[in-house]
Amino acid sequence: MKELVELIKKLSLSIKREIRLMEVCGTHTVAIFRSGIRSILPENVKLLSGPGCPVCVTAHEDIDMAIELSKNHDVILLTFGDMMRVPGTKGSLQTARAEGSDIRVIYTPMDMIDIASREPGKTVIFFAVGFETTSPLIAGSLLMAEEKRIDNLFIYSCHKLVPPALRALLQDKNIRIDGFILPGHVSTIIGSIPYNFIKDEYHIPSVISGFEPEDILQSIAILIENIISGRDDLTIQYKRSVRPEGNKKAIDILYKFFEPSDAWWRGIGLIPGSGLKLKYQYRKRDVIERFGINLNYRNPVSLKGCRCGEVLKGIITPPGCPLFRKVCTPETPAGACMVSTEGSCAAYYKYY
């Protein structure tokens, strides 16, 4: 690792401008802080945190709708634990549970099969949030529900897809990114091929990185070498887990049940083709269809002056938000980036 640090310092000397590299994944953000990588990089090498935290990019309206659904007396709303404190415009799931809603935290998608089986008289709704790493597991659970004929289980799909979000960032004229550190977990599922547009259309280098400090330093060195030489290579550094074609079994089961759809991202707005909705033949399990819901999303709003959207885009770092460490803390989060352990603001608060 010392050799890699020296290599990065040596390479950076030949670039007389700021090098802006975005780590897309929230797990990378935490790993970078935990290992102190930011503090040992040359001054002209800047790491930006991207929109790679699924909790952080869940729209306010989706939180509000989940809360409304939970108020029905026959509904059991299921979610992962990191969604409980994410603020919508009308509170959080945690406050809704305190007010009497039956909201339960599950630790694996398989738990929703058990709960729906034990409570046949209830409408069991899973508030499904996550990227391509999580969504195949949800699809696998739906397959089991179909096989067992569990008819009281429904999905509120707020899944997001990473490649369309990266395209949206690259199309934003206010954002300058010289290279991407691409997410290892997501790429284990989808492989490297879906990212080809980064080099083919935008001519920017990218590296799919592992999560150990040595992985990340090696990825940074690869990116800087590519920038110096003018190459736009897409490199798989995380070869022990990622293949170009990805995990075919996971992809097949995912797209057996889901298909891409437009989706709203907190602080960013509508990104075409960046979400997942249930296919027509499984639409009976779509809670939007079940309850006849008409969702009206708005342009990104700033709750109480929160600048999460700019943090997610890499336009500012969390200390650039006037609420950071003042109004907004892990105990009293004003925005989703402070709630999740993988959120940029939470990472900055803990380690910066």
Same domain, 188 and 110: yes
Same domain, 159 and 66: yes
Percent of the chain at pLDDT exceeding 90: 81
Task: List residues bridging with 49 in a β-sheet.
Answer: 23
Mean pLDDT (whole number) for 319-330 = 92
CA 135 to chain centre: 12
Residue 302 has pLDDT above 60, yes or no: no
Mean pLDDT (whole number) for 305-330 = 90
Same domain, 164 and 294: yes
Residue 74 has pLDDT above 70, yes or no: yes
Query: What is the chain's mean pLDDT, rounded?
Result: 93
Residue 143 has pLDDT above 70, yes or no: yes
Same domain, 320 and 190: no
Task: Give the pLDDT score at 306.
Answer: 86
Return the CATH number at 87.
Answer: 3.40.50.11740
Helix (H, G, I), strand (E, B) or coil at 108: coil
Residue 242 has pLDDT above 60, yes or no: yes
Residue 110 has pLDDT above 60, yes or no: yes
Kindly list the distances between the CA atom of residue 213 and the CA atoms of 19, 77, 308, in Å, as whole numbers in the listed order: 20, 38, 26
Mean pLDDT (whole number) for 244-264 = 97
Same domain, 268 and 284: yes
Task: Give the pLDDT score at 301.
Answer: 56
Same domain, 204 and 330: no
Residue 51 has pLDDT above 70, yes or no: yes
Same domain, 228 and 311: no
Q: What is the DSSP letter of 298?
A: -
Task: Give the pLDDT score at 264.
Answer: 93
Same domain, 340 and 302: no
How many domains are there within the chain? Answer: 2
Same domain, 153 and 59: yes
Task: Give the pLDDT score at 146.
Answer: 96
* CB burial readout 81-112, b (16+ within 10 A) else e: ebbbbbbbeeebbeebbeeebbbeebeebeeb
Domain boundary among 306, 324, 339: 306
More confident residue, 340 or 5: 5
Residue 333 has pLDDT above 90, yes or no: no
Question: According to DSSP H, which parts of 135-178 are helical?
Answer: 135-148, 162-171
Same domain, 204 and 347: no
Query: Which pLDDT band holds residue 300 (cuts at 50, 70, 90)?
Result: low
Residue 231 has pLDDT above 70, yes or no: yes
Query: Which pLDDT band holds residue 84 (cuts at 50, 70, 90)?
Result: very high
Same domain, 250 and 295: yes
Domain boundary among 270, 289, 306: 306
Same domain, 177 and 273: yes
User: What does pTM read for this prediction?
Assistant: 0.93
pLDDT for 206-228, tens place per residue? Answer: 999 999 999 999 999 999 999 99
- Give the tokens for residue 214: 């040595």
More confident residue, 351 or 162: 162
- Domain carrying residue 139: 1-306
